[in-house]
Structure 1
Amino acid sequence: MFQHFVLTRFNLRKKDWLETKSKTQVLTDEWMRNRLELFENYCFASVKAQTEQNFNWLVFFDVSTTPEFREIIDRLASELRAFIPIYADGMEEFLPAIQRELNARLTQPYLITSRLDNDDCLHQDYIKEVQAQFDQQSFLAIDFIDGFTLQVAPKVRFAKHAHVHNPFLSLIETSKEYKTIWCNERHGYWSEIKQVKIVRKKPMWMSVIHIENKINAFKGFGDVNLEQLQAFNICPRAWDYIETNIEPYKAWHTQGLYHQLRTGWKVNAKILRRKLFHGS
Structure 2
Amino acid sequence: MFQHFVITRFNLLVPPVEQAKGGTPILDESWMINRLALFEQYCFSSLKAQTNQQFTWLVFFDIHTPEKFRDKIYSFQNEFSNFIPIFIDGMEAYLPSIKKEIADRLTQPYLITSRLDNDDCLHQDFIKEVQTEFDQQDFLAIDFVDGYTLQIEPEVRLAYRSHVHNPFISLIEKADDFVTVWSRKRHGQWSQVKKLKSIRNKRVWMSVIHIENATNIFLGYGDIDWQIIAPFNIERKIELQLKQRNSPFGNWKKLSFKQNIKTRWKVTSKLLRRKLFPFLLN
TM-score scaled by length of structure 1: 0.98
- 2:272 aligned partner, one-letter code: L
CA offsets 1:110-146 (integer angstroms, 9 cap, x no match): 0100000000010100000000000000000000000
The separation in 1 between residues aligned to 2:15 and 2:184, in whole angstroms, is 19
The aligned residue for residue 123 of structure 2 is: 123
- 2:262 is equivalent to residue 262 of structure 1: yes
Runs (4+) of structure 1 exceeding 4 A deviation are: none
Alpha-carbon shift at residue 16 of structure 1 (Å) = 2.1
The separation in 2 between residues aligned to 1:181 and 1:272, in whole angstroms, is 23
- 2:143 aligned partner, one-letter code: D
1:150-161 matched pairs, under 5 angstroms: 150-161=150-161
The separation in 2 between residues aligned to 1:12 and 1:57, in whole angstroms, is 17
Alpha-carbon shift at residue 266 of structure 1 (Å) = 0.1
Alpha-carbon shift at residue 18 of structure 1 (Å) = 1.4
The aligned residue for residue 220 of structure 1 is: 220
- 1:180 aligned partner, one-letter code: T
Aligned-residue sequence identity (percent) comes to 54
CA offsets 1:227-258 (integer angstroms, 9 cap, x no match): 00001000012111111100011110100011
Runs (5+) with no aligned partner, structure 1: none
Contact map agreement 1:14 1:90 (CA 8 A) in 2: no
The aligned residue for residue 243 of structure 1 is: 243
The separation in 1 between residues aligned to 2:14 and 2:261, in whole angstroms, is 36
Secondary structure in 2 aligned to 1:252?
Answer: helix
Alignment size in residue pairs: 280
Report the RMSD for the aligned CA atoms in angstroms: 1.0
The separation in 2 between residues aligned to 1:278 and 1:124, in whole angstroms, is 33
Secondary structure in 1 aligned to 2:57?
Answer: strand
Alpha-carbon shift at residue 47 of structure 1 (Å) = 0.6
The aligned residue for residue 7 of structure 1 is: 7
The separation in 2 between residues aligned to 1:190 and 1:131, in whole angstroms, is 19
- 2:139 aligned partner, one-letter code: F
1:106-185 matched pairs, under 5 angstroms: 106-185=106-185
Runs (5+) with no aligned partner, structure 2: none
Secondary structure in 1 aligned to 2:277?
Answer: helix
The separation in 2 between residues aligned to 1:103 and 1:196, in whole angstroms, is 24
The aligned residue for residue 197 of structure 2 is: 197
The aligned residue for residue 78 of structure 1 is: 78
Contact map agreement 1:152 1:242 (CA 8 A) in 2: yes
CA offsets 1:36-80 (integer angstroms, 9 cap, x no match): 000000000001100000000000000010111000001111111
The separation in 1 between residues aligned to 2:236 and 2:146, in whole angstroms, is 25
The aligned residue for residue 37 of structure 1 is: 37
TM-score scaled by length of structure 2: 0.98
Alpha-carbon shift at residue 13 of structure 1 (Å) = 3.4
- 2:217 aligned partner, one-letter code: A
Contact map agreement 1:165 1:188 (CA 8 A) in 2: yes
The separation in 2 between residues aligned to 1:156 and 1:15, in whole angstroms, is 30
More displaced, 116-125 or 12-21?
12-21
The separation in 2 between residues aligned to 1:227 and 1:116, in whole angstroms, is 23
- 2:56 is equivalent to residue 56 of structure 1: yes
Contact map agreement 1:62 1:90 (CA 8 A) in 2: yes
Alpha-carbon shift at residue 15 of structure 1 (Å) = 4.1
CA offsets 1:190-226 (integer angstroms, 9 cap, x no match): 1110000011110010000000001000010010100
The separation in 1 between residues aligned to 2:247 and 2:42, in whole angstroms, is 19
The aligned residue for residue 68 of structure 1 is: 68
Alpha-carbon shift at residue 274 of structure 1 (Å) = 0.3
Contact map agreement 1:42 1:121 (CA 8 A) in 2: yes
The separation in 2 between residues aligned to 1:13 and 1:121, in whole angstroms, is 21
Secondary structure in 2 aligned to 1:16?
Answer: coil
